Amino acid sequence: MIKSAYIFPGQGGQFVGQGKAWHNSMASVRHLFRLADEVTDKPITRLCFEGPIEELSLTSNLQPAVLTVSLAGALVHLEKGVIPSFAAGHSLGEFGALCLAGVFTEAETLTLVNQRAGLMQRAAMQNPGTMAAILNLDAAVIENICELARAEGIVVLANFNTPAQTVISGSTRAVSAAVKFAQAKGGRAISLPVSGAFHSPLMKECGQAFSDLLREVDFKKPRFPVIPNALGTPVEDPDELKNLLQEQITSPVYWVRTIETLSQLGVEEYAECWPRPYLSSMVKKNLPDKSSARVICPS
């Protein structure tokens, strides 16, 4: 049997109309969107289908909206007979992976993500910051650059996306300084359209508050291994999954390690749970040169 890994996106790929075609064609997806509206007490369906993009992109709205659409994408893959052997998610996407594996129900997952989104939006307002992707420089070089930029404030490596793309996160002044240092070294920088310094120490209070919420949640044993962001290797123990999810808000996303691990475990098919290719290019860039693995998107 082909080994398939379901992969769930985080923020960044949102667009008005996301998930609408699936909603129109599948009763299970319509149920999921109704559940999202009820659980979050937000117009998730309207925001996904009609926008406006500015309202959809608010962290407090975007996280449950992205989760809903990515879970819908998983339903499409499952209906087509794609059997998951593993699951992983980029940042927010880790919640979709845990839900697919049965660690939480859909309602529990939507509740947690809605709470997380509210906490993160408040943290971003209290401790303003930003993120930027640095391209074409090695992560070790970027760490040295961040060390220099810390004279201006907090800045850390937040997402290890590919060998040639690392995201930094922190205070606006420190990130700006790091970007200038990176450009001087021949790197390219792209400012990310985010509302805060996610996966950085500026989210510490948010992380502590979310940890308090998670302590009251029952984590069930997953039906198959999940790859947590804070580790990048498979985990099946519910207590360990909880501990790693508590760390996730402030810890880096080890996506390079995640895809390398899945490749070593023999994954031949990566099922991206999003209406458009979004994580696909990052997956392909992390696969070995001679890999025959493919990335499939639901249609």
- CA 97 to CA 271: how far, in whole Å? 12
- DSSP β-bridge partners for residue 131: 169
Q: Which of 91, 171, 195, 280 is catalytic?
A: 91
User: Residues 202, 252, 227, 2: is their CA dihedral positive or negative?
Assistant: positive
Distance CA 49, CA 18 (A): 6
User: Of the listed 23, 77, 90, 199, which one is catalytic?
Assistant: 199
**Catalytic site residue 91?**
yes
**Residue 199 appears among annotated catalytic residues:** yes
**Which positions are annotated as active-site residues?**
91, 199
